Chain A
Amino acid sequence: MSETADISHDAGGRRRVLRFAGNLTLLRVRKVSEELKQVQDEALDVDISDVERMDTVGAWLIHKLQRDHGARVIGASAEQQLLLDQVAKADTPMQVRAEHEQPMLRLVAEVGEATKTAMSTMLGLIGFFGSLCMSAWHLIRHPRRFRFNAVVTSFDMVGVRALAIIGLMSFLVGVVIAQQGAVQLRQFGAEVYTINLIGRLTFRELGILMTAIMVAGRSGSAFAAQLGSMKLAEEVDAMRTIGVSPMEALVLPRVLSTVLLMPLLGFYASIVALIGGGLLCWISLDIPPITYVQRIREVVPMTDLWSGLIKAPVFGMIIAMAGCYQGLQVRGDAEEVGMRTTAAVVQGIFLVIVLDAFFAVFFTEIGWV
């Protein structure tokens, strides 16, 4: 048995004859197709009576000879003829590779696309906020439809289970601020102001901000993934059909629990950060805890606490809304759930920081310095 598909030319008669033998299969086709590129003739005969095995790729090569060179096929067995017919039937002009646009054009197109997406997301979020308010108003008028269980479950997930990680993170943040602050302030002999730094920074900014980032990463993403997979499994549609509003059953409990929990978590985070900073002051600056607490009470105005606590529910609202909104936008396949989850976290954190900047300016303007 010949392993390869041999080609022999036979120019004896008026028509050139191309003779194939052996296996004309994918395994051997590379060499054959190279050789066939040399074929220039018109009106040649192709003899495949000696071909032992032929697969569709082999048949395709023969078919190309028929198509491009007007070849006549001789000696095809019934099965080979069937294969040739199959392949001939499947010969349709097709663009196999997607066209690539010019890089510059693509850049412009992508920037435009991204701008459009950002705009429509902003609009969508505002619309989402509107329908959230409407269903909240509806719920206030019909308080019996309030889903207490869903809110409690959400409390557990967003709040209780986050205590350990938020505590650990805040503690470390407190330690780092104290340590870095002390190193810098020592140069001016003003080590004692480390306490001012810790107290004011944690209550006013970092406690809440770090908590918001952690909640966005933990819960905002979870909301998006949960609602996204429910959307995929048509659970959300089933809910609507039964007459349950997804806004009321899915979104409101999540948003409500996040809004309520953010101030608590933020306050908790600030306190733990304060403890972390205090510990470092005690160990490395020899400031005893009593003095530390006393100084904190003197230097941190009450407005710092208020400015932190006022921001917290707003941040919670934004994080939960971004998560739920993105989750409900899922259409198509599982891949999109992943993309939407990422988008939820990125948007949540981004909006939180933008708003934080506004709040900072605002609180300073009203004299809460």
Chain B
Amino acid sequence: MSLKTILILIPLLPLIGAVIAGFFRNRIGRAGAHWVTILGVAASCVLSGYVLKGHIDGSIGTINETIYTWGVSGGIHFQVGFLVDHLTSLMMVVVTFVSLMVHIYTIGYMHDDPGYQRFFSYIALFTFSMLMLVMSNNFMQLFFGWEAVGLVSYLLIGFWFKKESAIFANLKAFLVNRVGDFGFLLGIAAVLVTFGSLDYGTVFAAAPDKAADTISIFGGAEWSMMTFICVCLFIGAMGKSAQAPLHVWLPDSMEGPTPISALIHAATMVTAGIFMVARMSPLFELSDAALSFVMVIGAVTAFFMGLIGIVQNDIKRVVAYSTLSQLGYMTVALGVSAYSAAIFHLMTHAFFKALLFLGAGSVIIALHHQQDMREMGGLRKWMPVTWITAWIGTLALIGFPFFSGFYSKDAIIEAVHESSRFGSGFAYWAVVLGVFVTALYSFRLLYLSFHGKPRMDAHTRGHLHESPLVVTVPLILLAIPSVAIGYFTIEPMLFGGWLDGAIHVAEKNDVLAALGHHFHGATGMATHAVQTLPFWLMVAGFAVATLVYLFRPQIADRVRQMVPGIYRLLDNKYYFDQFNQKFFASGAVRIGQQLWNKADAGLIDGGLVNGSAKAIGWLSGIVRKVQSGYLYHYAFAMIIGLIGILGVWVVMR
């Protein structure tokens, strides 16, 4: 099998699985649907692993191949093709591995759902779309994958289509993403107009020569074209990777079944924006202004979205706000040119956040779709595997030394510290304080659900038991990388140049290289951490959470009463939803009503069309009177006319 064939098979196998499971769902039955999709995704995972291994041992180089020509117009060749370098193969393995875990887990989670086959079809379709996105070698295919994952996300959030909240959430998700895509598309158009090509290789190679190009948007003011392109592309990333203020759809997306919250809304799709910016590093490196913008947006998201996580009671929503906050960390890393650190955190986060979501899902099925943590407590007695893996996921998330999240998050914090880009001071404090917040909401979740007194009703308590193997095995398989992947990969990924071929950093911006001088192995980094501020903030978060949620729950109520304003602000998520609903949604409908009633029906149809019809009716009514049918009327008119003409003739002479 040639390498090109393998690369084509990697996305195609899940697609075939999706088509079979979707169209022949009644013929192949439930088992058929999960087997065909799991086999497809597993094969694609193995093949991705093969490519990654080839990249590691050097037997496979960077592959840049065109598969077919989509269209040619105006001298531009739009193509579908693959660019597979180290960044791509890493993403491919992360995507297919998490996807495979989620597929297996779904057998247990969706066991009683009537839409079983449809669900498998959708998640396999998602895997295809996501692979097309990361494997693309040009902007158009990137946009294809970008919107395709959006479509699947839409279908999956609204999977339980009878639920009003679910079909509201999926519409909202799609529209908010479309706002981002609007920017993204303008960015792509700007790229095409500037470079005359949408091919990554051509564009990146020509980028330095175009650094001084400008565009005038308002009157004569000239803006840097590169800043314009990067900001537009990043607006797309803000939609997909849920950065403030386009983050509003992600918490609502929790209306979908939990496996897809893990796969799409935590591990893979929402990181597409991060991946995209890293991929575009040769462009972003040319615009400090755009990178500052990226950094500030990321910092705001990292800190302020984390805060909301503290007051949520729905277990999935806590994890969702945590995801927002962690995506903010990745975005900050992008903003300080530490692209590798962002990708590194993307990878570790994919494992431990998928683990946390699937753990939450395990709890949810045990409690018969109860998601309110106030109705949980003490679950560790009944669900030991879920409990222990949740602890592992939590320790990774808060960045406890030696866990995977520690390495990636600490690298980001240090990189921000190192940076001198405009806004990095603010970003540094946001990410450092964010550590405290992360520890606080993470342990709050852990204590409220697994520790303390059981608060569920007696009936539910009587039926509690650990989830089946199809659920716990993926948890265990995800727990392993959540612990270990950071320790083993930090050196090659951040300081060993593993991503050098894919990511371009200008020398003056290279904060990771500066960090590399102080790096003396993963063990040293972890032991050194005890002397740093983030570590103690994490301990403080742990201590506060332990005191409040394990021993003195009344403190939480007292704090809430002490600062009611802040509590209300957080509980209402800074009023973003209310504002968007009032201003954008209702506003658009009101504009539509006004235009329709006043302009379309009123002015054009009422005034011009029917008005001219009425005018003609009125005019012909007058003219009709002239045609009376009496001969003497006509004779009289003739005489008058004759006299008139004669008169004119006489005068003219």
Same complex: no
B interface residues (Cβ-Cβ under 8 A, vs A): none
Partner-B contacts on A (CB < 8 A): none
